[in-house]
Amino acid sequence: MAVPEVTTVRDTATIPAPATPYQGDIARYWDHEARPVNLRLGDVDGLYHHHYGIGDIDHSALGNSVGSEREKRLIAELHRLETAQADLLLDHLGPVRRDDLVVDAGCGRGGSMVMAHQRFGCDVEGVTLSAKQADFANRRARELGIERSVRAGVCNMLDTPFVSGQVAASWNNESSMYVDLQDLFAEHARILAVGGRYVTITGCWNPVYGQPSKWVSQINAHFECNIHSRREYMRAMADNRLVPQAVVDLTAATTPYWELRATSSLTTGIEEAFLNSYRDGSFQYLLIAADRV
């Protein structure tokens, strides 16, 4: 007699991505992404991030160094601030138990996934449109010996294979600007358990400014994304059983990171647009933590 298979969340098939021509463009973008600003920072300690940093610069860490020594110290400092950003996101995930499953929607090369597992001991599933990123994240997990708990898959985060209500916490770390927010939050609300926690850290345009500024439009063009407004986040959460518990404006906390980055050799040309839009109030860096009700 055949033994019935036990289907767990982690056994379910991955839905192939991308689903739309736009998602195909984004998959290609991240497949080809190899900017030194991302790779050299990750090389510092093996946590590979594709997001920005928060917190004050530790000027003593930079010292009076010049040339390549300054560059090395600057890279380590930028990386420290990016890891602090992910730590703040994890601080808002709430109590996560070892036997919980958490989901990183738009996981990139997996730095936040590794940190979540190291902090909570839980299982972490990440999804990305980019096969290169998923391979990279899975390779890192193997190198760390945590591949049984940390796994990345190529999957559209709007249509994931996770069983409804089985996920204790989920997040988007700088990945919500690639999707429609109603569709995104509907999927998070589906996979999250009642009482589960959703967190996003994102750039959003500020409705108080009026409309997306020219700097915001430049950022959209640079990353082929569509930055939403703060108002859209609140509305789409309210429509999808996600009730904000904390809204933290990180704009002032991320500005030193951008000022430091603009002085490095790793600039990508988008630094001025970020700094100008943060300064003129048209763009905000926001953390939103919400309860699934």
Residue number with the shortest CB distance to ligand SAH?
Answer: 108
- Binding part of the chain for ligand SAH, among 60-68, 136-144, 154-162, 247-255 by CB under 6 A, reads 154-162
- Pick between residue 62 and residue 186 the one whose CB is nearest to ligand SAH: 186
- Pick between residue 166 and residue 226 the one whose CB is nearest to ligand SAH: 226
From candidates 83, 149, 156, 277, binder to ligand SAH by CB under 6 A: 156
> Going residue by residue from 10 to 49, which x/- string records binding to ligand SAH, judged by CB under 6 A?
-------------x--x---x------------------x
Residue 50 interacts with ligand SAH (CB under 6 A)?
yes
| Token duo for residue 286 | 């926001």
- Binding part of the chain for ligand SAH, among 3-11, 103-111, 114-122, 190-198 by CB under 6 A, reads 103-111
Instruction: List CB contacts of 3: < 8 A, sequence separation 6 or more.
Output: none
From candidates 122, 158, 189, 219, binder to ligand SAH by CB under 6 A: 158
Cβ burial, residue 15 (10 Å; 0-12/13-18/19+): middle
Instruction: Write the DSSP string, 126-137.
Output: EEES-HHHHHHH
- Pick between residue 16 and residue 67 the one whose CB is nearest to ligand SAH: 16
Alpha carbon 180 to chain centroid, angstroms: 16
From candidates 54, 83, 102, 130, binder to ligand SAH by CB under 6 A: 130
Residue 250 interacts with ligand SAH (CB under 6 A)?
no
Residue 162 interacts with ligand SAH (CB under 6 A)?
no
- Pick between residue 226 and residue 276 the one whose CB is nearest to ligand SAH: 226
From candidates 52, 120, 178, 283, binder to ligand SAH by CB under 6 A: 178
In the complex, minimum distance from the CB of residue 103 to ligand SAH, in angstroms, rounded to a whole number: 11
From candidates 51, 140, 151, 228, binder to ligand SAH by CB under 6 A: 51
In the complex, minimum distance from the CB of residue 8 to ligand SAH, in angstroms, rounded to a whole number: 21
In the complex, minimum distance from the CB of residue 193 to ligand SAH, in angstroms, rounded to a whole number: 21
Alpha carbon 227 to chain centroid, angstroms: 14
From candidates 114, 157, 227, 288, binder to ligand SAH by CB under 6 A: 157
Maximum Cα interatomic distance, the chain, rounded to a whole number of Å: 73
Q: Which residues bind ligand SAH (CB under 6 A)?
A: 23, 26, 30, 49-51, 106-108, 111-112, 127-130, 133, 156-158, 173-175, 178-179
